[in-house]
A = this chain, B = another copy of it.
Amino acid sequence: MSDETFDVIVVGAGVLGVATAYYIQKNNPDKRILLIDRLSAPGQANTAMSAAAVRNMFASSTNQLLTDTSIKFFEHIQEEMGHELMFEKVGYLWLLGEEQFNHESVKLWMERMERSGVHFRVYNKEELKELIPGLNTDFSNDEEAELMNLREVAYGLFGADCGVLDPTRLVDFYYEEFKKISHVKPRFGVNVTRLLLEADPKLDLPGEPFVWQFKRVNGVVTDKGEVLRAETTVLATGAWANELLDPIGMNSLLKAKKRQLFVIHAQDKKDLLDLLYTKGFNELGCIPFVILPTAGAGGSVYFRPQLEEKGFWIGCGDKLGRAYDYVQTEDYANSEISYYELSLYPVLSKYFPAFADVKPVGGWGGGYSYSPDAIPTVYKENGVIVVNGASGSGIMKSDALARIADALYRGQPEAELYGGRKIPSDALSLKHRQVEPENVVI
């Protein structure tokens, strides 16, 4: 088999891979770009498993910039380009206990959102009770709630510009646009097994590359034994980053963590239907994406309204007690019903009794790819562009991250994001990182 040569190889056709392929092709129309993925179609791995909620409600100005510009682009796609993303502005509603609300980190969060013009409003307990009659805000004399370290809801923080979308449709948009202008047929069902690290320049000696040589990645090798060469290799491999980067001595600093979603149907359940069709928050007349107060040290239970299937997706931001993994394993796909029953359900049904005695009709798991600061990593080193580490916010930041990757490809010092705002191209790099730390991590 003889080597094949491209200008760019993009490994991974999740949302970050297809968006990056699209922007590089758009801004470098003559380049031959190969998009490659081990699954049979784009967006089939963790992108498809996402809760796909999008918010600009961050404390870090870096995160605000990445999400705000991406979300505005999603609106542009849907409203002006006519590509339906099922982007629904249901809003985000954070339910907070008294202590949480008064915590310095929440004050800072609100200050920073105000400073940056991120729209949000605060509801007090009475307003919340009036809007959501099914919300239980009274845990007095509830020993169970006390044992469970649950905090009474005292305030709600609501962001009207946030919402949910269909991640598959977003992938489709970038993928179809890429295909229109691409010169190379994407390849699916092909697994990249290693990066082609070679001496630069090559001396054609056996055993190369040696310590005393400069080195760069000149493409990839696949499980079919193909050697695919390119001047630039883009890695958008999410929770599998270490598999390719560690062997050549590039430390991505990323780790995988399993996250699950459980599906609850509201059909024929009056209390749940009432909750789903809660009025007063948005034009859709439905409950927003809701984040419950943090329970224990375990993270926050949240739910996403699903108007199409008349129900909810329930999830949780697992912290201590949920393993980090070197790379995502196959068992991530399975949801653990006991986890729903023992860890999520008791919390959920305490705040929203409408969920009591209702069982999930299904569920699934996927992998988050965590960076140390939970802010994405985008950088170019040794012929490789890494777009990763979105830590669960990859969909809501995808457009910005892909534009940054393209700016790096073109050697531009700044990336221009949708709407004209700019960010240094190395702001998300590991070596010259310039990000504002985030303290609002679900």
Contacts and interface: CB of A to CB of B under 8 A. Distances in A.
A338 B205 CA distance: 13
Given A326-B242, A338-B207, A248 B320 contact: yes
A245 B242 CA distance: 17
Interface stretch (A87-95, A279-287, A291-299): A291-299
Contact of A297 (B215, B301, B326, B346): B215
Contact of A246 (B245, B249, B325): B325
B248 A323 contact: yes
A248 to B, nearest CB: 6
Contacts of A203: 147
Contacts of A298: 210-213, 215
A247 B326 contact: no
A324 B247 CA distance: 6
Most buried by B among A150, A257, A298, A299: A298
Nearest to A294: B212
B251 A316 contact: no
Most buried by B among A148, A214, A297, A316: A297
A408 B170 CA distance: 48
B148 A212 contact: yes
A321 interface: yes
A1 interface: no
Interface of A: 147-150, 197, 203, 205, 207, 209-215, 242, 245-251, 253, 255, 257, 295-299, 301, 316, 318-326, 338, 342-344, 346-347, 370, 372, 382, 430
Contacts of A253: 253, 372
A322 B347 CA distance: 47
A13 B301 CA distance: 41
Contacts of A214: 149, 296-297
Nearest to A147: B203
Nearest to A145: B212
B343 A295 contact: no
Contacts of A148: 212-213
A338 B343 CA distance: 54
Nearest to A298: B211
A324 B212 CA distance: 19
Contacts of A343: 210-212
A325 B197 CA distance: 17
A119 B176 CA distance: 64
Contacts of A347: 211-212
A150 B197 contact: no
Given A205-B342, A249-B318, 12 more contacts: A148-B212, A149-B213, A209-B321, A210-B342, A211-B296, A211-B318, A213-B298, A242-B324, A245-B324, A246-B255, A248-B321, A249-B322
A273 to B, nearest CB: 27
A242 B247 CA distance: 17
A320 B215 contact: yes
Contact of A295 (B212, B319, B370): B212
Give the top 8 A-B pairs by smallest Cβ distance, nearest first. Answer: A211-B298, A212-B295, A211-B343, A326-B326, A246-B324, A210-B343, A212-B296, A213-B296
Most buried by B among A213, A299, A343: A213
A211 B295 contact: yes
